[in-house]
Structure 1
């Protein structure tokens, strides 16, 4: 090798030292083995059965089943408690389960990585009518004792739990699956009864005879949360006359000469007319007596309803007299189907003017508002409907045993028509409550039930809710309005499969025996023997002499056990008392679908506020439902149901339903906008698969270039790194902070977007394209290459940890291939993204981003052409910006400076002014860059000019850069390296 001193081609006689080329001929092939290309056995794609085998293998090798227990035993300064709302144990796992469980697991895994101790106990809601009906349906008989029913129901629930639990584990959900909570467990039931007892002691639980939603198809009372409203329900609606027997005193003078006036009412439930006790009016509005033009019939209606009624009846209604609603006080009507019965006109606030006549038929046994009127005016509450939804003998022989929703309703209409009381009949399509399980209409009927007085709890519950964070915030108004609508909560059910209401009744008086002594002892028995003991043990087991004495009750032989069970919303609503840590039974978050706004969220809030005057949660996360890709509700009849088992394992035809594995399902959850309806189907799943494969490609590049690198001994101190390497650490730190914030906000979609932006823009399009020459062609142990590898290892670590909560299988797979880890260690046991404040260096960001601004101008000036084929001259006036660029290139002209690497050119010259003798083929452009340092204390906008021209240098056969003095010869850098290696 001969050192020669020669003038560079152009630019003011700049002198450089070079190496005379000692090679000749076509040399590219011979240097292939000297280039340090990426090497790794990490596959870019894993599909089909091998994907499924790999996920199972990773779960086993990385101890997925032990992670929860490990983190519970590890010391931690903070605990994160996510309380699991119990899925219902009555069917196979579905995509709604996947959405909910994976959302929770992503947050829990994030918290484990952050070093917090996670409290997460999965549970199941095991009681209730649907399970009981399915268990009975399997047997095909109703002739069973309560104990037999309960045994079959328990077996059914346990099978469903087993299937669901296996699916949750396969999805990678972290938990101690051997220690879950079940609402049919004796200890859980005992904790529930303790809540019941405390609420009863405070007078919040009481027995009463009042109207409730009743399901004839299920033969039990239902709570509001157990209803579905069918907007297409059709009712036969009637306009009915109630003849006025006694005119109100104030109306007598005004309506002088008027006789045979009838109050006109409208109803969509004619079957309730036999139970009518009053006609209600609104005191603050005007009423009129009108005369029909066609029949001269006189009708009493609200003044503002006259025009609508005239149109409806297709006749003119002449107003004869108008008066205030208060003038109706004292009026009495004749019942339309019971001539001997008189019913009063009464004021009421629930009367509306939006439809009807302004007068409302009132049957206290069959309406909540009607019952309020009855309570205020001491009206009788007579229920004429039995548990099967049929008229009782109280309704008369014509109606007895007829179904009120079918032939009974038709019979009442016939009676009304025969009496001449029907003015108009028409079908009315309206929203009507249905039993959420049997999908059959319900009725409102009075019966003796147990209630929670939510009216006294609502204000406290609202106050407690104001201290709760709601995500999204828009769900708060729904929570509050649901509370407003709930005047009382019926908690008794006339079934066998549930927690029995712990009450005894006196055989003669029917008086209930229920106090803290009885309930405390019953809870103790349930804790030891389970609630089956209510039916299997003698009464003496519960009413011991000690309990009777403390209760000041008579002999045990005077009492019988109650047969009702508790509403399952009370079951699950008391879970905070049975599951959450005793030290602070308040979860950091509850995460459930929007249907729980009126369900578990509310029942949990009401029970907790009743007992402890605070909410059981600090935050509520309300997500949407999973729907088809067309936005339709999933239905077997439509054929658009997506089975998560088929998503993971594939269907019968793998060309139609390929196996995607669990991570694709998890990516779908994370990427979706879960606060609205979440669409799933082949398009969404294929897109998720493609996104993961793109990520695998990035991870493969990182792993391939870390082959043989040990960060524990070969890492370079940030102060010795290239500026662009330091800059990437700075970007990695910003990325990790944004990702951390997004996870904390349950904004997993933002996590995905941040990840995709970082890997595509900052890594693939920018950093990777710049550093390949240094990685592949610099000496293996050079500071420049080690500097780059140090950053690549940090990026690999940061990216794999950032995505680990979403893709735990992929993250652990990467960790198994990554350098610098002890055998047996796993990613989830080694913490969150590790960044350092040292990575943010004053001036570093401005230096690199300033160079990038120049780079963008340069690349824009040579569209479609290779930057490596150009020499670049950068002109900046002396000042701060020039000094920043000078830190990237100490010599005026260089083929190997950091500035040249960033520009990806053949060589770069940094000067204070462009040469006057630029070649004719030079491409020039200008730009400016604003420097902002020390929080705006230093601001300086600097302009720059650039000139790009085809390089006179030749392409090196080893590094492929245009840095060689002669064709087919090594550049000085490669020549030196080859000589050092003896090649």
Structure 2
């Protein structure tokens, strides 16, 4: 945007636009609830894609007369902010409050950087009134939702395995994982010696020596926590004998041959039986003498890989935990919060990291016990902490959960009423929700909203109820969540709540140390931003990762507390990639910084300043429902496209100078047919553009705009009307007719592009030579495109398109030559097609008719039959045109002939058509114009 554009921002009140439209008196409201970006880094192209899409949407609805509700927000708590704040410090062992203060300052700095970038991109909002998840009133609302969910028994505490990040020392929810498809595990095949034969297999096992169950696992470090081996009741299992060693193994029948090859052994099948026949048996633990592991049935055992027998460690597997719960097995966890073996694991393993030296130690123990048959590298998909980018483990611990199983059915029904854009995203979200049986909402950090629970110092029992939560909410609303760490327990815990559980002193309790998952933070934003409890946002618009993230946490909290979704429509966009489809990375050097896109890099020859509108055009023209590519070639193309549009707008502006729509407009009925036809095309363009905006299909808006301004305007209409604009009398009906169209086109094109290119649209609007209503200081204050149904007339398309078909035949016969140097003879037999052409040129020959204007020749002659003197003409072009009127009731194909001849007259020095008697004198038309006007037309 140039200096003139910046001036126009001030002149039109660009920055006050949001406040202005909020004050309008209208019942129509459009609410787009802003998903909070994370306050832990600089603005990037992902932010640009998301915020600009939202702004295009908001500006369109505002121009359509809606009162737009859009409150920008930021997600401020959580591990990434805490880690980045601490990484700036060399000091260790900070108190919780010191960490919180550092984290808050870091988040505030990130917010200011991001906010200034969003403003620079032209995002319309009241930037003085945003929402922040660390704001006390927001936190109080969040705890209010927690309280309602607790009262409805959706929130509970339990000891169970959860995803755990050793690199971050905290539990994680599934939405905080990303899967590394190339993770390498040290997988092992292990012998579990049979201790007690299953009763149904006693006769089979009798006489066999050294029988073991064959087990495969990718997590050897979990073997010390083994409590059972599971089988599939309905599957076939075999006892096989190794001919080399004489040892016998039990494994699934279907895998005997493949596993014998893997383990490099020759085997013979002794017996085959059903899995259920293993019931009642047990085996010895492979590394812990004296411990036995029962054989138990389970549905989660898979045949895709492994032996059909699964080592079961209840503390380290979700399905394992279910088996243990059903059979009352021990669930002791031998791994601490940092991912190290505890003292309970034994001196050989204590203090060893389970994913590193701890894993190696267990493998060595298996080898020493002669339980290890084989170790191999196994490449597979494995969950990583999406923030630290390091592997996670599954680890049992005492956590707080949302019982999503009890909300799931209602949520699925609610989501079926939500519109998804694109529609395919609905299936993906429902599948993700279906897999979610619980949501772990507690985190072992201090930068966040506390879970308002107290624990008895002696018994460890938790104290939480409506009174305790309500008291904390009141304090947090006034003082913010810092109060949980700064106030003594007796101020936070009401006396009556302590008395209710039979105790007399709040000092018998300590405050819980866990905070709420930040997905719970952001997922309750609807309660704060959509103040009316019954209100739903018309739209949530975020990236595809939010199908398992914010979209889910928002709908789960909303359904749990009020049985409705917080949104009516979900729009989902893809991620940004380099222009060759590769991920952006600093090491590759393909990271695109939106600030550099707008202002240019250090070397402008390599990184030129494109301005905000190029960034916005890139967003709009991209197919945002897939991955969105960006790079120098993409940005250069966007800049060129905008320059072409600017040239079109410049032509329009220049040719409505001296024109006033109020006094100079020509009624459609008195216009040239080609002008009426352009209004017809303009109405079609406007309707299609409006529909594309309504469907959030902004790339289609760009395609429609480009086709209209390049094909219909620049390449077609402008070339036809230039003679009328430049050579007819300034105030003549002929000139005013096309100026009326140009004014309508200018108005419609500027409005149609305004949501996408607000800076350019506003700049052009400021240069309109006439006012557009009472709010004419801004294009955004004067509404959407206005079209008229009277612009469409029967026969209009056929007349112009028929003439254009003949014109194409004419121009195609003189490639690369000046059409004005030629005369055209058109021969059409009497009939409907001739009548349509005759309406454009009543006289037989003319240099100034509407038909000749379309032909762009110096003269056009319209005949019903070919003159005898032309019958032997070599260059006769033949063609046909199909007339289709009244919905197909009138359908007639007519043929035509075109004869092209060099003009016999001289070139007029004024209009440059070959219509003059001499190159020194102007033609009759120009003579008449000058005589009437008394001066030259500019």
Contact kept in structure 2, 1:199 and 1:205, CA below 8 Å = yes
The answer to whether the aligner puts 1:649 opposite 2:599 as a matched pair is: yes
Task: Report the counterpart of residue 903 of structure 1 in structure 2.
Answer: 855
Give the Cα separation in 2 of the matches to 1:520 and 1:551.
Answer: 17
Task: Report the counterpart of residue 97 of structure 2 in structure 1.
Answer: 147
The answer to whether the aligner puts 1:924 opposite 2:876 as a matched pair is: yes
The answer to whether the aligner puts 1:85 opposite 2:85 as a matched pair is: no
Task: Report the counterpart of residue 794 of structure 2 in structure 1.
Answer: 842
Task: Report the counterpart of residue 642 of structure 2 in structure 1.
Answer: 692
Task: Report the counterpart of residue 899 of structure 2 in structure 1.
Answer: 947
* 1:375 shift after superposition: 1.4
Task: Report the counterpart of residue 632 of structure 2 in structure 1.
Answer: 682
Give the Cα separation in 1 of the matches to 2:873 and 2:92.
Answer: 96
CA deviation map 1:329-351 (0-9, x unaligned) = 11111111112111111111111
TM-score, L = length of structure 2: 0.97
* 1:57 shift after superposition: 3.2
The answer to whether the aligner puts 1:559 opposite 2:514 as a matched pair is: no
* 1:545 shift after superposition: 4.0
Contact kept in structure 1, 2:776 and 2:782, CA below 8 Å = no
Task: Report the counterpart of residue 816 of structure 1 in structure 2.
Answer: 766
Where do 1:313-462 residues align within 5 Å? 313-462=263-412
* 1:135 shift after superposition: 1.5
Give the Cα separation in 1 of the matches to 2:879 and 2:531.
Answer: 62
Give the Cα separation in 2 of the matches to 1:846 and 1:512.
Answer: 81
Give the Cα separation in 2 of the matches to 1:884 and 1:708.
Answer: 34
1:751 corresponds, among 692, 695, 701, to 701
Give the Cα separation in 2 of the matches to 1:423 and 1:56.
Answer: 74
SS of the equivalent of 1:358 reads: coil
Task: Report the counterpart of residue 191 of structure 1 in structure 2.
Answer: 141
- 4+ residue segments displaced more than 6 Å: 549-553
- Taking a change above 3 Å as real, the CA distance of residues 76 and 422 of structure 1, as seen in their structure-2 partners, is same
CA deviation map 1:905-949 (0-9, x unaligned) = 222222322222217556322222222222223323322223222
SS of the equivalent of 1:873 reads: strand
- Taking a change above 3 Å as real, the CA distance of residues 963 and 149 of structure 1, as seen in their structure-2 partners, is same
Give the Cα separation in 2 of the matches to 1:820 and 1:922.
Answer: 54
Where do 1:936-975 residues align within 5 Å? 936-975=888-927
1:870 corresponds, among 822, 826, 847, to 822
Give the Cα separation in 2 of the matches to 1:281 and 1:634.
Answer: 45
Task: Report the counterpart of residue 45 of structure 1 in structure 2.
Answer: none
* 1:581 shift after superposition: 4.4
Give the Cα separation in 2 of the matches to 1:62 and 1:259.
Answer: 92
SS of the equivalent of 1:290 reads: strand
Task: Report the counterpart of residue 253 of structure 2 in structure 1.
Answer: 303
* 1:547 shift after superposition: 5.2
Contact kept in structure 2, 1:255 and 1:321, CA below 8 Å = no
CA deviation map 1:769-796 (0-9, x unaligned) = 0000000000000011011111001111
The 10-residue stretch of structure 1 (940-949 or 808-817) with the greater mean CA deviation from structure 2:
940-949
Contact kept in structure 1, 2:5 and 2:762, CA below 8 Å = no
SS of the equivalent of 1:414 reads: helix
Task: Report the counterpart of residue 492 of structure 2 in structure 1.
Answer: 542
The answer to whether the aligner puts 1:570 opposite 2:520 as a matched pair is: yes
Task: Report the counterpart of residue 78 of structure 2 in structure 1.
Answer: 128
* 1:654 shift after superposition: 1.1
Where do 1:662-741 residues align within 5 Å? 662-741=612-691
* 1:221 shift after superposition: 0.7
Give the Cα separation in 1 of the matches to 2:501 and 2:649.
Answer: 71
Name the count of aligned residue pairs: 933
Where do 1:54-73 residues align within 5 Å? 54-73=4-23
- Taking a change above 3 Å as real, the CA distance of residues 551 and 338 of structure 1, as seen in their structure-2 partners, is closer
Task: Report the counterpart of residue 977 of structure 1 in structure 2.
Answer: 929
Give the Cα separation in 2 of the matches to 1:379 and 1:57.
Answer: 75
- Taking a change above 3 Å as real, the CA distance of residues 162 and 55 of structure 1, as seen in their structure-2 partners, is farther
Task: Report the counterpart of residue 786 of structure 1 in structure 2.
Answer: 736
* 1:966 shift after superposition: 4.1
Where do 1:490-505 residues align within 5 Å? 490-505=440-455
Where do 1:617-636 residues align within 5 Å? 617-636=567-586
2:51 corresponds, among 101, 105, 122, to 101
CA deviation map 1:597-648 (0-9, x unaligned) = 2211111122122222222222222111111223221122222211111111
SS of the equivalent of 2:641 reads: helix
Contact kept in structure 1, 2:209 and 2:247, CA below 8 Å = no
Give the Cα separation in 1 of the matches to 2:589 and 2:927.
Answer: 68
Contact kept in structure 2, 1:914 and 1:947, CA below 8 Å = no
* 1:689 shift after superposition: 0.8
* 1:542 shift after superposition: 2.9
The answer to whether the aligner puts 1:513 opposite 2:485 as a matched pair is: no
SS of the equivalent of 2:870 reads: coil
* 1:750 shift after superposition: 1.2
Give the Cα separation in 1 of the matches to 2:501 and 2:4.
Answer: 63
**Structure 1: 5+ residue runs without aligned partners?**
1-50
TM-score, L = length of structure 1: 0.92
The 10-residue stretch of structure 1 (540-549 or 969-978) with the greater mean CA deviation from structure 2:
540-549
Task: Report the counterpart of residue 227 of structure 2 in structure 1.
Answer: 277
The answer to whether the aligner puts 1:803 opposite 2:740 as a matched pair is: no
Contact kept in structure 1, 2:600 and 2:609, CA below 8 Å = yes
2:197 corresponds, among 237, 247, 251, to 247
Give the Cα separation in 2 of the matches to 1:743 and 1:915.
Answer: 54
Give the Cα separation in 1 of the matches to 2:340 and 2:80.
Answer: 23
The 10-residue stretch of structure 1 (62-71 or 518-527) with the greater mean CA deviation from structure 2:
518-527
2:544 corresponds, among 594, 599, 602, to 594
RMSD: 1.8
- Taking a change above 3 Å as real, the CA distance of residues 583 and 446 of structure 1, as seen in their structure-2 partners, is closer
* 1:462 shift after superposition: 2.1
SS of the equivalent of 1:438 reads: coil
* 1:553 shift after superposition: 6.6
